[in-house]
Chain A
Amino acid sequence: MTSITKELETVEFRERLDAESAIPVLVFLASGVLWLLVGSALGIIASIKLHAPDWLATIPQLTFGRVRPAHLDVVAYGWASLAGVGCLIWLTSRLCKTPIRQRGALIASAALWNLGVLYGTGAVLFGYSQGVEWLEYPLPAAAIIAVAFLLFAWSILSTFHARQAEHLYVSLWYVIASVVWFPILFVVANLPIYSGVEHAAVNWWYGHNALAIWFTPIGLALAYYMIPKVIGRPIYSYYLSLLGFWSFALFYNWNGIHHLVGGPVPTWLQTISIIASVLMVIPVMAVAVNHHMTTIGHFKLLRTSPTLRFTVFGAMCYTAVSFQGSAEALRNTQEVVHFTHYTVGHAHLGVYAFLSMILFGSMYYIIPRVTAWDWPRPGAIRLHFWLAALGISLYFLALTIGGWLQGMAMNNPAEPFVNVVAGTRGWLILRSIGGSMMGLGHLVFAFLFFEMLWRAGPRRGASPWEDAK
């Protein structure tokens, strides 16, 4: 047995795995990067409109009510999903120790997925949104994406079925779980059969679960792989991995209704979702301790490995955003922050500071292995990191402080509403600055990415600022 395991670890074997997954991985990653640029542009436009409301106000397609959901959909279904799928394909093949299966299905999936996002986003911009947050895409677009997802799931499950690995590493638990959970969630939530309060409840059951059982597993699967891989030591504790995964599976799916605290939803439903949100402390603590104890003593690698730097930043933000979320679900906090910019800050701490940073980190690791090219320009990678990290920090702080003050002011009956609105202006401008820094970082990253695709840029070979010597 051990000789086979050794065999599976050889350079030749990994060369083959990478070679077989290269095309699907690159197709998904390239689509993701393009959607990232589109999504950033939409996000920055929406952000600026909040403090300069007359800007572009005469073009119906670019009014706030359309640009803002279009931004969300593009970054969620375009960037994060496509880049996430690209990374998961590579990861699954590596962890199952077998070449990726159903490559044709994957290419079809990428094509359909892009079509779905293009169609859905176009529909939103031209006024054919379903008007339900996170589920704006009209049914045909959603159906296309559902088919694309099933094709992807088919490939992952076939690969899993053909696995040669003896032990299922924790990352794989998350991948397999999300690949089974998400299609069910997506289809059920899109059924055109809900109305009224019930629709609102399904809406947020979906909205939060899109994060809970799709985006978060992507981020955690990648973090669980990249951190020990780059450092070169096992993950700290199998028992923590188990506790983290099962409590995550048990509690996270109940969280959604905390978006409706104070709304006309049965009290017990709100209470249960608050409880589940607080119980998320358990899986988050388990993951945080596991990652921290693995990294401890190796923090100096953050200086030389872009993968580790981005991934550890993301993993720390996972802990932060989750603890914040547990506190935010409580009724007392909701009284202040509901309907304020604070919530938007929280959302970006999750999808950007946690998920997107881990996606960047993983892509810095994966892309050289599927292009056979070393990243050129370490300086540009550093620039990307600092633009993204400082940009999201400014963004988050501005909306968190500004949103809290906004909530306090809204609760004060003596304060006229327009004063409250005017009071958010400065914070919103800071947010636009933070968002633009992130956008600039994405341009740098996209430039590097396409250099890699062309195998262009200075040849470096082994040098500092690279992953694991």
Chain B
Amino acid sequence: MELQTRIIEDTLLVKIVGELDHHSSEDIRNQIDKLLSSNSIINIIFDLSHMNFMDSSGVGMFMGRYKKIKMKNGIPVMINIQDSNRRLLKMSGLFNIYQEYKDLDDAILAIRRGSDE
């Protein structure tokens, strides 16, 4: 598993490359939370285009990051979701708390619009 992160305005973009399970989620959580401790980051976008496996430990990781973003009054987003991951994301209710957008451009536009409201 490899994590690629980038900061765009007040949004943290996180690309998960590889497998999200109990073993890798600990690493992911620590890396993301270090970046989220900065007050200038409010929103999070998870790019799932290269996440080729996930189990319920991943669900816990996504729920935990959702809580952190909500405390900042930010917007939690997922983009580039693969069909193979869709069932578990849906079953675990993550689509009720994360907004889904097709790609990065759509997500950034939606976040800008949301922040203006």
A, B in one complex: no
Binding site for A on B (CB under 8 A): none
